[in-house]
Chain A
Amino acid sequence: MRPERPPLLFAFLAAIGVAFVVLPLVGLLSRAPWETALSDLGTPEAATALRLSFVVSLAATALALVLGVPLAWVYARVQFRGRDVVRALTTLPMILPPVVGGVALLFAFGRRGLFGPALDAIGIHLPFTTAGAVLAATFVAMPFLVLTVEAGLRSMDRRYEDAARTLGAGRWLVFRRVTLPLIAPSVFAGAVLCWARALGEFGATITFAGNLPGTTQTLPLAVYIALETRPEVAIALSLVLLGLALAILVVMRDRYLRAF
């Protein structure tokens, strides 16, 4: 095939588009204190935030898997009235400004929220706790998993499930031994996207869970706080996030596009 040459205007605008995204990254890299980056990351505040971020984002991904895979299954397989509306609602956090999500979480699970007193009664306190940070991250990140897994379920050949049923497998066994392995690539892709989103979560976390080193101060919060007093630490932490994001995109490559 003859390689196509873009119209001049497209080439021009496309080049600006690339510059627009790449230049800030170049800016970040140009300020990076390469010699001290490692020791900056070793400072207690950076190390604490790194550790907490991994705990929170992995816990959020685990929670999203436990709740999101069955949810995706219901969306893909069960016809019920209002399904589209419910799906739209559960997808909302993906587009909602995270701060709004944080406020909404406060009004639901905060001390004076709708369900706060009930949670309080059974000894569950979410705001200002690591559990709250996990909840905030799950809230914004789960839609990525649900959408990806649902797409996987819809595109898989359901006749394999029929075959398994005729071989004597009940519905749960079919799901575990046939459905899940067949949609494993989608579940993996969804989990990685979800994890990436949870790792970068800022607005809902700071609004709902607050900001306390070691408890709720995840990487993005630490970057924001450190930027004013210790910019070199902030940049070093930013580099970690940038590297992880890049690694994720390389791992996902075309899967990301195929999933949607």
Chain B
Amino acid sequence: MTPEVQNVTVFAGSSLTDAFTRAGNGFAKTNTRVRFTFNFGSSSTLATQITNGAPADVFASADEGNMQKVVDANLLDGAPAAFATNRLAIAVAPGNPKKIAALADLARSDVVLVLAAPTVPAGKYALDALRKAGVIAKPVSQEVDVRAVLNKVSLGEADAGIVYVTDVKSATDRVTGVDIPEQQQVVARYPIAVVKGSPKSALAHRFVDYLVSPDGQKILVELGFSKP
């Protein structure tokens, strides 16, 4: 009897979209009997969905706070493991026509700035970074997740947005990234955990292990993530 194909449902922050799609394919090379269903969104939305009973097997958050919500709800099978870190960058139009060089430029009146909403991790980190830089900038919109920020910049509606380094890397043809110096950086720590009661917990744990293994880490680093 051949073992059946098992479906593993992964809830992951939207900044992990490219990384997890590739990691899923990498994992499937050695585990042919698995298929992944990914649900990408803002980590806060995902945490809300899981605490309200959404059938996730794995949860990967872009911040520790939202993971903590699920921990507090006593819904995890084991402790969360840090598997990646991410850093912020300023996304601007290709070629940087507005000559934005630093966070301070985001306060310029001729710069249309969008941020993620302060309720989602990317928005919170962006505010932290601006605070570290001593910049008071007024966004014209607080988008629902970091991908929406990236889209507003790539559509040309906004001149700049604060996103993850990995977002810039995934959209090199549509946006240009401007580095944020180390002393103003905010490091986003990505924890991952298996959700309690998952009928596929064995497979789910193997996927988590794969992400922290050298193979998994290689994919993440290629996409711009750093090691935890």
Q: For the complex, what is the distance from the CA of A229 to the CA of B112, rounded to whole Å? A: 27
Choose among A112, A209, A210 the residue that contacts B156 (Cβ–Cβ < 8 A): A112
Contacting chain B: which of A220-228, A237-245, A251-259? A220-228
Taking the complex as formed, is B63 at the interface, i.e. its CB lies under 8 A from any CB of chain A?
no
Using a CB–CB cutoff of 8 Å, the interface residues on chain A facing chain B are: 106, 110-112, 127-128, 206, 209-213, 215-217, 224-229, 231
Instruction: Count B interface residues, CB 8 Å.
Output: 21
Which listed segment binds A: B96-104, B135-143, B203-211? B135-143
Contact of B140 among A112, A212, A227, A229 (CB under 8 A): A212
Are B140 and A110 touching (Cβ within 8 A)?
no
Which of A128, A206, A211 meets B157, CB within 8 Å?
A128
Q: Which secondary structure dominates where chain A touches chain B?
A: loop
Q: How far apart sit A247 and B76, CA to CA, in the bound complex (Å)?
A: 43
**How distant is the Cα of A112 from the Cα of B112 in the complex, in angstroms?**
13
The verdict on B198 contacting chain A, using a C-beta distance below 8 Å, is no
Q: Are A112 and B143 in contact (CB under 8 A)?
A: no
Indicate whether A112 sits within 8 Å of B155 (C-beta atoms), given known contacts A211-B142, A225-B144.
yes
Q: Which residues of A contact B141 (CB under 8 A)?
A: 128, 209-212, 216
Q: What CA separation (Å) do A111 and B47 show in the bound complex?
A: 35
Q: Which residue of B lies closest to A217 (CB)?
A: B142
Query: Are B144 and A206 in contact (CB-based, < 8 A)?
Result: yes
Known: A112-B156, A212-B142. 5 other contacts (CB 8 A): A210-B140, A216-B141, A224-B144, A228-B42, A228-B47
Contact call B152/A210, Cβ cutoff below 8 A: yes
Q: Does the CB pair A112–B48 fall under 8 Å?
A: no
B142 touches A228 (CB 8 A): no
